[in-house]
Amino acid sequence: MSHLEHASVAIIGGGIGGLAAALAFSRFGAAVTVFEQAAELCEVGAGIQITPNGGRVLAALGLDDRLDDVSLRAQAVQPRDALTGRTIARFDLTRQTPPYRFFHRAALIDLLGGACRASGVTFNLGTRIKAVSPDGTVTVQDGTQTYDLVVGADGLHSVARGVLNAQDAPFFTGQVAWRGLISAANADPVAHIWMAPGKHVVSYPLKDGLLNVVAVQERAHWAAEGWHHADTPENLQAAFADMGTELRSLIAQVERPRLWGLFRHPVAQNWYLNRLAVLGDAAHPTLPFLAQGANLALEDAWTLAATCAAAPLDQALPIYQSLRAPRVSRAIAAANANARNYHLGGLQRRVAHAGLRTLGAVAPNAFLGRLGWLYDHDVTA
Ligand SMILES: Cc1cc2nc3c(=O)[nH]c(=O)nc-3n(C[C@H](O)[C@H](O)[C@H](O)COP(=O)(O)OP(=O)(O)OC[C@H]3O[C@@H](n4cnc5c(N)ncnc54)[C@H](O)[C@@H]3O)c2cc1C
């Protein structure tokens, strides 16, 4: 028996985490309503890597047979020297099950949104939640509504997180990320990590002849956090002017770069109270250097719905946080460490590149084996 039969659940936010939660709660028998402030379900024009741990959630949600239509199966990840363009090593991804995938974000949102609609989820688009309360009440423009459970999947600037926790103090990491899409017909489905002192670039192809580019630079002056801050191609090109020819030519093709200031946020202390819970970036924003923010949001979504289906709410929500908080904290620490590893200079850089080269030559599986705790984890088991 599911404890969610006949339960009403409101999800605030129609991003990847919110839609996955809406679908999971619906699959476990709840009547689900999604509130999304944007007038339609949409995502920024950018790519996203879904690793096997996130892929298992998509499969458990019943989306497996659609994934090849909307994403590419990744073949390998190749660390490269950004100054010379030389490939340092190639680590095979083809043996990952489920496959490691490259999505256009909008395609993933379309897939999740379509499945939610088919599953009977109600959408209130163009509806910004102004306030939430642990008693299950949400406040919209024209009044309040009450649910058995309200889930804050409302991202970085979460209203729900603020109700459950004291104001936190995110700090600027001294790093900014530009992102952009360029055309690249028939590019191999390989993620390239171009590393240089104080900066790195990640590039990988998407369906429909696009290549996703994320370029990260350490710098002293602050930039705002968020996907929608336009910057000029000239600023991006100037930041990477000292890179090798191949990378510079890739950067030169980014016509409309967006700039994101990278901030560190503490993991929320409290993920729930009574009838209110948070997930994804609302609970634990992470730096993008391990490509895990959305994957962790998918894992949260499944875990929250499954625990609420298995136990009454007052027991389920503490179990949810206790299952999730240690794992996301470990993933966030690993992402923070990657930032340092990618940006090494001088002797440290030479030693690190030699180590990667040796690993690639003699024990290529050991590289991904170190991430077994992350990729092999199955929250749906
Ligand atoms: C440069 C970069 C690259 C990244 N690459 C990857 C990657 O490859 N793989 C990966 O797993 N992660 C990646 N991430 C992280 C990932 O993008 C996020 O962790 C993920 O999108 C979080 O999903 P979410 O659903 O929790 O929040 P969001 O995607 O932020 O969704 C929140 C939703 O809530 C809505 N909302 C907010 N407030 C309200 C309100 N009051 N009322 C109604 N609606 C509201 C918003 O409009 C939005 O639709 C990357 C991040 C960056 C910055």
188 pLDDT above the threshold of 90: yes
Q: Which of 34, 133, 154 to mutate to test the pocket of ligand 1 (most atoms within 8 A of CB)?
A: 154
Q: What is the pLDDT of residue 45?
A: 74
Q: What is the pLDDT of residue 108?
A: 97
Summarize pLDDT for 231-266 with one digit per residue, the tens. Answer: 999 999 999 999 999 999 999 999 999 999 999 999
CA angle 372–43–287, rounded 5-degree value:
40
339 pLDDT above the threshold of 90: no
Q: Which atom of ligand 1 is nearest to the CA of 54?
A: 11
Q: What is the pLDDT of residue 221?
A: 81
How close is the Cα of 201 to the center of ligand 1, in Å? 20
Q: Give yes or no: 204 in active site.
A: yes
- The dihedral of CA 71, 157, 338, 266: what is its sign? negative
Strands across the sheet containing 190-196: 91-92, 76-81, 190-196, 199-206, 210-218, 171-183, 258-264
129 lines ligand 1 (CB under 6 A): yes
227 pLDDT above the threshold of 80: no
Q: Which atom of ligand 1 is nearest to the CA of 41?
A: 49
Q: What is the pLDDT of residue 210?
A: 95
Confidence label for 136 from pLDDT (cuts 50, 70 and 90): very high
33 lines ligand 1 (CB under 6 A): no
Of all protein residues, the one whose alpha carbon is nearest to atom 3 of ligand 1 is 288
Q: State both tokens at 126.
A: 């163009």
Q: What is the pLDDT of residue 209?
A: 93
- The fraction of the chain above a pLDDT of 70, given in percent, is 100
Summarize pLDDT for 321-330 with one digit per residue, the tens. Answer: 999 999 999 9
229 lines ligand 1 (CB under 6 A): no
Q: Which atom of ligand 1 is nearest to the CA of 38?
A: 47
Q: What is the pLDDT of residue 297?
A: 98
Summarize pLDDT for 276-290 with one digit per residue, the tens. Answer: 999 999 999 999 999
pTM above 0.85, yes or no: yes
Query: CB–CB of 30/120 below 8 Å?
Result: no
Q: What is the pLDDT of residue 131?
A: 96
Q: State both tokens at 198.
A: 């104080």
Of all protein residues, the one whose alpha carbon is nearest to atom 41 of ligand 1 is 129
In terms of C-beta density within 10 A (0-12 exposed, 13-18 middle, 19 or more buried), how is residue 246 classed? Answer: middle
Of all protein residues, the one whose alpha carbon is nearest to atom 19 of ligand 1 is 293
292 lines ligand 1 (CB under 6 A): yes
307 pLDDT above the threshold of 90: yes
- The fraction of the chain above a pLDDT of 90, given in percent, is 87
E-assigned strand segments in 28-109: 31-36, 47-50, 71-73, 76-81, 91-92, 101-104
Q: What is the pLDDT of residue 162?
A: 96
Q: What is the pLDDT of residue 366?
A: 84
16 lines ligand 1 (CB under 6 A): yes
Q: Which atom of ligand 1 is nearest to the CA of 286?
A: 19
Q: What is the pLDDT of residue 89?
A: 96
Angle between helices 16-27 and 52-60 (to 10 degrees): 40
223 pLDDT above the threshold of 80: no
201 lines ligand 1 (CB under 6 A): no
Confidence label for 62 from pLDDT (cuts 50, 70 and 90): very high
Catalytic residue among 204, 320, 342, 375: 204
Query: CB–CB of 51/292 below 8 Å?
Result: yes
CA angle 286–111–129, rounded 5-degree value:
60
3-state secondary structure of 372: helix
Q: Which atom of ligand 1 is nearest to the CA of 296?
A: 11
Q: What is the pLDDT of residue 74?
A: 98
257 lines ligand 1 (CB under 6 A): no
Domain boundaries, the chain: 8-72+101-169+265-342
Q: Regarding the domain delimited by 8-72+101-169+265-342, which CATH topology (the fold level of the hierarchy) does it fall under? A: FAD/NAD(P)-binding domain (3.50.50)
Q: Where are the alpha helices (DSSP H) in the chain?
A: 16-27, 52-60, 67-70, 105-118, 159-164, 233-239, 245-252, 293-310, 313-342, 346-362, 364-369, 372-375
